[in-house]
């Protein structure tokens, strides 16, 4: 394979059989379960990278069920998202994500810089309760519950919030000697959002300590609200807004 062909094909690894296809990446019937909780502001400031600034001592703990996603397939993920500001503009910073699908792990890390690790999240309904669970190996590290569809939320307002909020990631790709080759703050948006339903209800969240999945390092002090959303959307590709190496 000559050099020009390598350059033409080289958008992901492995070269001759990439772990994921080129986008766009469309998600159908994507289901969110988001519990917003109050946490220790000092713990937040210790993990949010400048030039992002912590907006409030809050964390969104998320379970996302994706039964139909272009190129990535059928999978579930779970993690922590922190409300921040960037140059005075409100947004969200993805602090940690755990999921059960290799193409989505590879694509999320390589393209956008999502902080994804392999684990086993689940999102399901049992009788009158929406249940989110996250296991890292054999150990349970998150249990979340919410009353199923207790109160309907405005779908148009929910769609606008999803589409209008900028999302931030810290993308890190090392050099062959282990030093950072790429270290960038990336911004992306959700696009073409159609909300099919949105609800709230009473909720509870428990986080358990783990050395390699430290979700409990941002402790739950108080549950503030919970949302359950079903939507179709496109995951937009990002743009670099800050280069830590330049």
> Which residues are identified as catalytic?
116
Token pair for residue 194?
A: 């159609």
Partners of 168 in beta bridges:
93, 187
Token pair for residue 158?
A: 């929910």
Tell me which residue of 163, 160, 147 sits closest to 199, measured CA to CA. Answer: 147
Task: Tell me the C-alpha to C-alpha distance, in Å, between residue 195 and each of 8, 21, 93, 122.
Answer: 37, 26, 22, 21
DSSP E strands, the chain: 25-38, 53-54, 58-69, 73-86, 89-99, 116-118, 120-126, 129-136, 139-147, 151-152, 167-174, 180-188, 190-200, 203-207, 222-235, 239-243
What is the SS3 assignment for 3? helix
Q: What is the dihedral of CA 169, 175, 176, 178, to 10 degrees?
A: -70
């Amino acid at each position: 394979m000559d050099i020009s062909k390598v350059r033409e094909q080289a958008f992901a690894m492995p070269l001759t059989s990439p772990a994921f296809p080129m986008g766009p990446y469309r998600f159908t019937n994507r289901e969110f379960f988001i519990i917003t909780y109050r946490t220790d502001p000092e713990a937040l400031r210790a993990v949010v990278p400048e030039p992002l600034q912590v907006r409030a001592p809050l964390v969104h703990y998320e379970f996302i069920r994706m039964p139909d996603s272009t190129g990535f397939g059928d999978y579930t993920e779970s993690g922590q998202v922190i409300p921040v500001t960037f140059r005075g503009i409100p947004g969200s910073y993805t602090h940690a994500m755990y999921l059960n699908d290799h193409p989505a792990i590879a694509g999320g890390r390589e393209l956008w810089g999502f902080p994804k690790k392999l684990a086993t999240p689940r999102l399901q309904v049992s009788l009158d309760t929406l249940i989110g669970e996250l296991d890292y190996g054999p150990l349970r590290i998150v249990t979340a519950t919410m009353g199923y569809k207790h109160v309907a939320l405005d779908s148009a307002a929910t769609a606008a919030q999803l589409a209008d909020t900028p999302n931030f990631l810290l993308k890190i790709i090392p050099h062959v000697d282990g030093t950072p080759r790429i270290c960038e703050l990336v911004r992306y948006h959700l696009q073409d959002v159609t909300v099919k339903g949105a609800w709230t209800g009473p909720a509870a969240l428990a986080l358990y300590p783990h050395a390699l999945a430290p979700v409990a390092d941002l402790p739950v002090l108080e549950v503030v609200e919970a949302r359950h959303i079903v939507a179709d959307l496109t995951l937009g590709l990002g743009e670099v807004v800050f280069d830590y190496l330049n």
